[in-house]
Amino acid sequence: MMRAEVRRAATAAAVVLLMIVLSGCATPLLELRRATPPLSQETLVEVQQVVKAIEVELASFVPDEVTVVIEEKTRGSIMDCAPGGVSWGSSTVVRVTEQPDLGDVAAAVRAGWARTGEFEIELTEASTGDPSLVLRSAQLGNYYFRQFDDKVQVLSFSTCFAYDEERDGYPWEIAAE
């Protein structure tokens, strides 16, 4: 290619780029965008039913030998997760005589739970150094096993769903634990 042809091609590319930028079709290079999670169209009641069912199912995997009682909380709270969307959080407490090995709980969940294939199951370490069991699903939410004193708490957080105050209730009507 001759020097004149290279200049013409570079000029044409610069003109096209300038037109795109000036017409508003370009995103500034340094603008960072966070991906907005998709909003489910389920109602709060529908979300609560699914999340609580999974939460209680998971609590049942704490070994019977150490379980004193499973205390299902009936309430939870909502928190923002995207514009116009919320996630519902709740928990169930398993009172125990001694702390179970979360590795054994994870193995029992993997081996005996019908929904295992719908979740990413990870045995990890919390910031405190204590073991932590985390179950994640893009469709069904996130669930965490937390150990303290004479309890194992199963925390649940739904996926992001479209929140309608008139349909789902106002935030002050949704009692927090």
In the block, tokens 């116009």 appear at 84
In the prediction, which pLDDT does 130 show?
Answer: 85
Query: What band does 163 get if pLDDT is binned at 50, 70 and 90?
Result: confident
pLDDT band at 27 (very low <50, low <70, confident <90, very high): very low
Report the length, in residues, of the chain: 177
- Given a cut of 50, whether residue 19 has pLDDT beyond it is no
Instruction: Give counts: helices (H), strands (E), the chain.
Output: 4, 8
CA dist 74 and 85 (Å) reads 22
User: Which sequence spans correspond to the domains of the chain?
Assistant: 1-33, 44-173
Spatial separation of the C-alpha atoms in residues 70 and 53, rounded to whole Å: 13
- What pTM did the predictor assign? 0.75
Q: If pLDDT is split at 50, 70 and 90, which confidence band does 89 have?
A: very high
Q: What is the dihedral of CA 161, 167, 170, 175, to 10 degrees?
A: -70
Q: Which tokens belong to 60?
A: 């049942």
Residues 6 or more apart whose CB falls under 8 angstroms from that of 1 comprise: 9
Copy the structure tokens of residue 117: 């294939």
